[in-house]
Amino acid sequence: MKAIPVKHRIIGTLAILALIAIFVFYFVEKFGDVDMELWIIPKPPSAPSMPDTITLPELKLQGASSKHLNAPAAWSIQVGTFDQAALAEPLITQLRAAGFPTTMEKQNIKDKEVFVVLVGPEVNQQTVNTLLQDLKTKMQLDGKVVPFTL
């Protein structure tokens, strides 16, 4: 097969494009009332303007006081605070071996990083109080009930 020079390819392409242009103009003239608005992209509708302030209706909860509205969703028992995580590990191991659900949380207290050992969390405050009594009797640990946060 003989190679066609690049110059001939370019000339052939231009000839085909010229024929296409001629046919397009022919059809536009023949069917002159073609709706050219089809080619115009419409503007999107403008978004409705939002008011500066929104007034919400006041909610009234029956049987709920402000004390109940501010109550945490769950509680934990804080049983220890340590400067280093390695110092907290033996206590965590003992509590878990005794069947207490135990976690360690890193917190900043007075610009100092500490590791807090927590038992729980529990959703029911009655259960937390029972768990606190079990810690006192089984492990001889005094703890402090604290709100559980994620």
C-alpha 48 chain-centroid distance: 28
Q: 72-147, what's its fold? A: Alpha-Beta Plaits (3.30.70)
Confidence of residue 82 (pLDDT cuts 50, 70, 90): very high
The SS3 assignment for 96 reads helix
Residue 66: the pLDDT is 46
Listed by start position, the domains of the chain span 6-38, 72-147
Query: Residue 102 pLDDT more than 80?
Result: yes
CA–CA dist 145, 89 (Å, integer): 21
The SS3 assignment for 91 reads helix
Preceding peptide of 51 cis, ω within 30°:
no
Confidence of residue 78 (pLDDT cuts 50, 70, 90): very high
